[in-house]
Amino acid sequence: MQTLQSHAAFAPKSHTQQPIVTGTSVLGLVYKDGIMLAADNLASYGSLARFRDVERLISVGNYTIVGASGDISDFQYLKHTLDSVVTKEYSLDDGHELSPSNVYEYLSRLMYNRRSKMDPLWNSLAIGGFRDGEKFLGFVDLQGTTYKSSTVATGFGAYLATPILRKAVE
C-alpha cells in the first residue's frame, strides 16, 4: 500500500504560477532611536478582502523583524524555514546569534536560488533590526534583488509611500 508521501514523489511537480492569497504593502524606516516596520493584517483572495487577521511581520531571533507582501503561503514557507535556521543556530550553542544582516543575506540567497530554479517565492520582504547599537533596514524581492536604505516599502506602497518616507527622513 502506497502512502501519501510516496505517491507525492511520483506526482508531477507544480510551481506557483501566480499568488492567490496576498498581502499588500509593508513600510519600513530608520529613525534616530531604531527602526520601524509597519504592515496591515489583511490578506486578499483575488480582489476579495477575505482574511483580516494575517500576521505579516514576524520576529526572527532576538534582533530581526521580517515583513512580507505577496503570497501568504510562500511567506508561511519562509517563516518555517527561518524558524528552522534559528533553531539550528541556537542548538549549536556557540554563543552566536543571527544579526539582521545575517537574516538579510540568507533571504537574498534563498530568494535568488528559488528564482534560478524557476520556482520563485512570490514575496517582497522588508528586513529590519537593531543589534549592538547598529540599525539595519533592507529589501529583498522574488528575483533576489536586494538593497539597503533608510526607507523601504513593498507592494503598491513602494510607489506611493517611498517618496513621502524619503522626504520625511531626509
Residue 67 carries which side chain, given as an amino acid letter?
G
Pick from 114, 96, 111, 15: nearest CA to 66: 111
Residue 56 grid cell: 505579516
Q: Could you list the active site residues?
A: 16
* H/E run at residue 151: strand 151-153
| Residues 157, 124 contacting (CB under 8 angstroms) | no
Q: Are 39 and 97 in contact (CB under 8 A)?
A: no
